[in-house]
Amino acid sequence: MSNRTRIFSGMQPSGEAHLGNYLGALRQWVDHQDDHDCYFCIVDQHALTGGHEPSELPRRVFDLAVSFLAVGLDPERSTIFVQSDVQEHTELAWLLNAVTPVGDLERMTQYKDKSSRLESIPAGLLNYPILQAADILLYRAERVPVGEDQLQHLELAREIARKWNHRFGEVFPEPRPILSGVGRILGLDGDAKMSKSLDNTVRILADSDEIWSRVRTAVTDPQRVRRDDPGRPEVCNVFSLHKHFTDPARIPDIADQCRAGTRGCVDCKRILADSIDEHFAPIRERARKFTERPGRVREILEAGAERARTEAARTMHEVRERMGLDWRRAAIATGPL
């Protein structure tokens, strides 16, 4: 694996993954394992900036780990671990503060959006992109699978690497994005990005009844009021989801029947719900087996953290030395007083 391109990506632990996580990230992560040296991280320390509930966080980490494994992330081909198990993440984040201008952080779109809704802004919200840069640079990742909404943060990580290398010497590659090509995944409301916090998505491990109860609420073409009204599949969010889950051979007929007004939206949603159910059935079964063996999940995360710590230690040894934090070298050079 050493001569493969290294990639890093992480996901916040909001519990088990949902359709947006799967379409926007997890499905691509599974494919990357064949061609890259992969580090996939549950970034629990990032979750601390969002007003988390401490008693719930451990369970959310475990549930997301089960989702990782159930969709096909393989601990034999990828390093899968929890961010807080590797202390070097926060150490490097602190050191990267030395080269990161406050103005660059204040220009981040996500910071401006989130801080505008807060009366008191936590410093962690401002520094969030520095920890994100540390996550990536700690493993000297060359590529980062990201959605378009994270491109600004990744560009800042590239700039931080560039400034640090200029000041202290070449250590970090400037990570480049791997875009999923999926684009923005709208939630069932047809308006906002798919998100568990907005309750506009479907859990990937939901059973048949839950999938249908969620999909039947999805917003469709607003101009189609009656069942026999001609529809516009190109603007219907339900139809856009068919492209990800429904048999491709059926999609042209679904589109034609929508335009002709011969298939109602409820029927279209039923087909989508059944397609989602069928797609995730084997994933649910794998998740069930992992959930019944929590010790095995812990073993995988602990082994992944051990591998990650080994790599992180190599990076931080060089970083500390370059930044003048190895006082022992001076003691050896000058000898005893």
* Listed residue (1, 309, 315, 306) closest to 138, CA to CA: 315
Please choose, from the candidates 87, 46, 47, 40, the residue with its C-alpha nearest in 3D space to the C-alpha of residue 300.
40
Dihedral angle sign, alpha carbons of residues 274, 200, 292, 28: positive
Check 196, 243, 269, 289 and give the catalytic one: 196
Among residues 193, 243, 269, 289, the one annotated as catalytic is 193
The span from the CA of 160 to the CA of 190, in Å, is: 36
Query: What is the spatial distance between Cα 127 and Cα 8, in angstroms, rounded to a whole number?
Result: 19
The encoded tokens of residue 106 equal 């204040």
The catalytically annotated residue of 112, 114, 163, 243 is 114
Query: Residue 37, class by beta-carbon neighbours within 10 Å (0-12 exposed, 13-18 middle, 19+ buried)?
Result: buried
| 196 is annotated as an active-site residue | yes
Question: Cβ(254)–Cβ(242) under 8 Å?
Answer: yes
* Closest to 134 in 3D by CA, of 87, 78, 167: 87
Query: Which of 75, 224, 98 has its CA nearest to residue 166?
Result: 98
Residue 269 annotated to the active site: no
Structure tokens at 265: 């939206």
Helix (H) / strand (E) containing 40: strand 36-42
User: Looking at the annotation, which residues are catalytic?
Assistant: 114, 193, 196
